[in-house]
Amino acid sequence: MKLHEIPIPRGARRKIKRVGRGSGSGHGKTSGKGHKGLKARSGAPGKLRMGFEGGQMPLIRRIPKRGFRGRGKPANQVINVGDLNEFRKNEVIDPQRLKELNHIKNVRTPVKILGSGDIKKTLTVRAHSFSVSAAKKIQEAGGTVEVIKNLGEKIKD
């Protein structure tokens, strides 16, 4: 069967709405645009920006604002314990090594190790934070967990 031989499902193709073709068509006179007003006009100004309410003070500006809206701390780059199995036994894993193997995008953004999956190798893992279950699994496998204090810290091999 070729692409042009595939039958078109029933109802997939509709007739186009032909407006302005007389009152008997149901879309005559104003062609479904109503009477006057911005949206009845032709041309580019017929588009309204999102939230525009015809000059009335928009809802988003009328309602009271409460609470603190901080910029937020940088999101962690997450690695699961199960992903660490691809490293060699007794290897030191740090953000630089994870970046080399494309597990993380940026060395400067904090790395957090989560406990999903199982680890079968003895590894030394250096990261900015660990979940309780991840630290427990790494230590049970005979590895060590090292917390990197700040982002600017140089990691020595």
Tens digit of pLDDT per residue, the chain (157 long)? 899 999 999 999 988 999 999 999 999 999 988 998 888 888 766 678 888 898 899 999 999 988 887 787 768 899 999 999 999 999 999 999 999 999 999 998 899 999 999 999 999 999 999 999 999 999 999 999 999 987 655 544 4
Task: Determine, yes or no, domain membership for 95.
Answer: yes
Task: Determine, yes or no, domain membership for 83.
Answer: yes
Task: Determine, yes or no, domain membership for 62.
Answer: no
Task: Determine, yes or no, domain membership for 124.
Answer: yes
134 within 8 A of 147, measured Cβ to Cβ: no
Range of the domain at 105: 77-147
Domain count, the chain: 1
Task: Determine, yes or no, domain membership for 85.
Answer: yes
CA 6 to chain centre: 36
By CB neighbour count within 10 A (0-12 exposed, 13-18 middle, 19+ buried), where does 79 fall? buried
Pairing of strands 77-80, 111-114: parallel
Task: Determine, yes or no, domain membership for 89.
Answer: yes
pTM of this prediction? 0.53
Task: Determine, yes or no, domain membership for 10.
Answer: no
CATH code assigned at 120:
3.100.10.10
Task: Determine, yes or no, domain membership for 94.
Answer: yes
